Amino acid sequence: KRVAAVAVRQVHTEAKIAAMGLQLPPPGAAQANYILAVRSGDMVFTAGHLPMDHDGTLVSGKVGVDLSTDQAYDAAKLIGLNILTTLKKELG
């Protein structure tokens, strides 16, 4: 029964992201000597990701000092999108 429930709830992730007015950034390379994602069985482990903008600009600073709350929120969205890009690259 659980398999049937999953089949009914299929969501195309990229379509949902586009509907939210967002766009996945191009996949980037690791900035140091590490791997962005590793598969182990049916699990994927991701490395730490940074808030890199689509043009490669790194968002940095301390909330309340260098960044407003809204800017920090946008930086967190960038991190999430970068993680999704890594997962798309790893899983296809």
Nearest-angstrom CA–CA distance, 30 and 49:
9
Check if the beta carbon of residue 24 is closer than 8 Å to that of residue 77. no
With a threshold of 0.75, does the pTM exceed it?
yes
Count each helix (H run) and each strand (E run) in the chain, helices first: 3, 2
Q: What is the pLDDT of residue 92?
A: 82
pLDDT per residue rounded down to tens, the chain (92 residues): 445 444 555 568 888 899 999 999 888 777 778 889 999 999 999 999 999 888 888 999 999 999 999 999 999 999 999 999 999 999 88
Residue 75 CB coordination number (10 Å): 20
Question: What is the model's pLDDT at position 1?
Answer: 45
Q: How far, in Å, are 10, 57, 71, 82 from residue 76 at the CA level?
A: 26, 14, 9, 10
